[in-house]
Amino acid sequence: MKKERILFVLIYSIIIISNLSAQTVSPDSWTQYCGWHYGGQIPKWGGWVREYAKDQFGRFIIDTTTNQLDTIKLNNAYQLLSTLDTTIDILQLDGGLGSARDTADVVEWMKMIEADSGKFWKSIVYQQTIKLTELPNGQKRVYWQIGNEISSPAYSRTIRYWQNGSDINGYNYDKFVIPYYVENYLAPTVEAIDSASQTVFNEKGKINICLGSITNAHNNNAQQFLDSLLNYRIVGVNSPTLSGKYVYELIHIITVHYAMGTANTADWLDNINWYKSWTGTGKIRGVWSTEEVGIKAATDNKGGFASSIATSRYLEWSINNQYEARNARTNYYAWNTGNSNTSVKTFNDTLFSMIGNVKLSNVPNSAVSFSESNLEYHSFLSENKDKGIVIAFPERSQTQNQVTIQEVFLNHSNWGEIKYAMVYSYGTNGSIPIAATVNHIGDSTIIQFTNSKTLDYYNGLLIYIEISDITDIRDGVEEIPSQITLYQNYPNPFNPTTVISYQLPEAGYVTLKVFDLLGREVVTLIDEYKQAGSYASQLSTNDLQLSSGVYFYTLRIMDFSPDKSGSEYKETKKMMLLK
């Protein structure tokens, strides 16, 4: 192979040099680290949700005719939340000021609090909190976020208007708002939540409380604002039981927005680690980015690209530091907004279809080498070591950086064979599959792309690698699947090639055949005896002269072992060819 043809990526000197080369497996499945906004469709990759029952808590469910809590609306909201999978965590805004973009709404809020020192508001929060603790595993799953975008100019403007009685400009990270936010909003809300905690759990502080989010948290001004806020000492005019306490003693999670900004990896890590350094102070145990991909990125068709950065960075950071998902997460605002193949949903759906809901280990950069120095890249391996992912893109500090993709080299020594690779490019023009072929030369595997593609500022690359016949080199014990599994072909729909993967817990005679809608056999992919293990077969329609439409593939396994002679397993799945 001529040196000049090796242009893009030496991805792994060894795809995984040994298990010691990869960081410890993440404490949670990767989907638990990735959150989604609002109700509606539940994405498989979304492990937690922010405001699933949007506008159905706090002031939104007060009956304005009786000025009391509307219990029907509360029960409806509870029923909606109870439909969620019991493993999904819920981050719920308290339905108070929010980001306070409506000045008149702020005035009404302040009047309500001052009318009775917040008693009515606290009764509303108390009743709702009691109700939410009834959710399965509600103590761990439910998080109250008190406020939103409290460091924004909109919040500053409305608070200053209420205080001064005139419409004036607002300011980013305005420390003027801190006493009003704490005394008239955060503290009375926490006091009510603590009262509910005392009622249900006989102890205060057992219900999760998140600090209202810090806007555009990727700069020093945001950090200084948070310092002042967390170190604010409560007077307690509207929350006498909290008088003298500091804000950092009341909350469990710091929430921030857009912690990455345009920072490169090193700058982003310094920034997010600064927020995480508050862990262990008071009750604080983690930091979440409750918005990392926003509406502007999504409507500019950069959602898939932006989420590729956010997903890979947060996963690598969490895995390398052994953070549980409940301590370090990222959430995508406009996750299903934008052109259908440029959204956050597009990228994360593809990632889910490739590796599923599994734990990951991080392959450190010392085991990965690129010929281009100004690329950012993140590499992961599934817990059972049969699938690898590489996510790469030009560093965000580089504008219009061009990289030509031609070949990828992976060394599979001691790790069996790399059976299949799929490459996707993510950019403003959507998700573009790049066909690739796998060839073995010595201890190396060459993944050669059949066409070239350029990367620029808003393009990323997702490389999926499937490995079989894997041996754990630490003890030489082969990893055997625990059950027969026939996977959905990938990609699906497809044109012209797709891959069908399956697992055998025991040896057997295997046939894998493709049929059309009339049940006529199209092609036989496998017809041979196989040992236990994981396998993948590629179907190419280039020479089959097939029309677009639905096809079926059937896996049959016979005669597993001498004591099961004559037994048979058969499973069929559907796939679609689109030309």
- pLDDT tens digits for range 511-527: 999 999 999 999 999 98
Residues 88, 205, single domain; the answer is yes
Q: Is 468 exposed, middle or buried (0-12, 13-18, 19+ CB in 10 A)?
A: middle
- Nearest-angstrom CA–CA distance, 18 and 516: 43
Partner residues linked to 93 by β-bridges: 145
Residues 436, 475, single domain; the answer is yes
Which CATH number is 173's domain given?
Answer: 3.20.20
Residues 438, 461, single domain; the answer is yes
- The residue whose two tokens read 């996963």 is 315
Closest alpha carbon to 415 in 390, 385, 383, 447: 385
Residues 558, 488, single domain; the answer is yes
CB of 442 closer than 8 Å to CB of 372: no
Residues 449, 317, single domain; the answer is no
Closest alpha carbon to 317 in 247, 263, 355: 263
Cα–Cα distance list, 454 to 303, 344, 389, 464 (Å): 19, 21, 20, 18
- Nearest-angstrom CA–CA distance, 222 and 532: 55
Q: pLDDT at position 64, please?
A: 76
Question: What 3-state DSSP class applies to 217?
Answer: coil
Strands 485-486 and 430-434: unpaired
Domain end (from 289, 323, 358): 358
Domain end (from 479, 511, 540): 479
Number of domains in the chain: 3
Residues 98, 234, single domain; the answer is yes
Report which listed range, 389-398, 497-506, 545-554, 559-568, is most confident: 545-554
Neighbours of 465 (CB within 10 A): 28
Residues 262, 199, single domain; the answer is yes
Which CATH number is 556's domain given?
Answer: 2.60.40.1930
Which structural domain, as residue segments, surrounds residue 386? Answer: 1-25+359-479
DSSP H or E run through 424: strand 417-427
Average pLDDT of the chain to the nearest whole number: 82
572: left (phi over 0), alpha (psi -120 to 50) or beta: beta
- Nearest-angstrom CA–CA distance, 34 and 287: 13
Find the mean pLDDT for residues 318-340.
Answer: 92
Domain end (from 423, 451, 479): 479
Task: Please write the tens of the pLDDT for every residue from 169-186.
Answer: 889 999 999 999 999 999
- pTM strictly above 0.75: yes
The separation between CA 191 and the C-alpha centre of its own chain, rounded to angstroms, equals 32
Residues 339, 430, single domain; the answer is no
Residue type, 162: W
Residues 297, 396, single domain; the answer is no
Range of weakest confidence among 80-94, 217-231, 415-429 = 415-429
| DSSP codes, 128-167 | HHHHHTTSTTHHHHEEEEE-S-TTSHHHHHHHHHHHHSS-
Residues 157, 250, single domain; the answer is yes
- Nearest-angstrom CA–CA distance, 72 and 353: 40
> Which token pair is 251?
């909350």
Which CATH number is 462's domain given?
Answer: 2.60.40.1180
Q: Which residues contact 478 (CB under 8 A, 6 or more apart)?
A: 470, 471, 472, 533
- Nearest-angstrom CA–CA distance, 519 and 211: 59
Decide if pLDDT at 237 tops 50. yes
What percentage of the chain carries pLDDT values higher than 70? 80
Q: Is 516 exposed, middle or buried (0-12, 13-18, 19+ CB in 10 A)?
A: middle
Residues 20, 39, single domain; the answer is no
Decide if pLDDT at 535 tops 90. no
Residues 16, 46, single domain; the answer is no
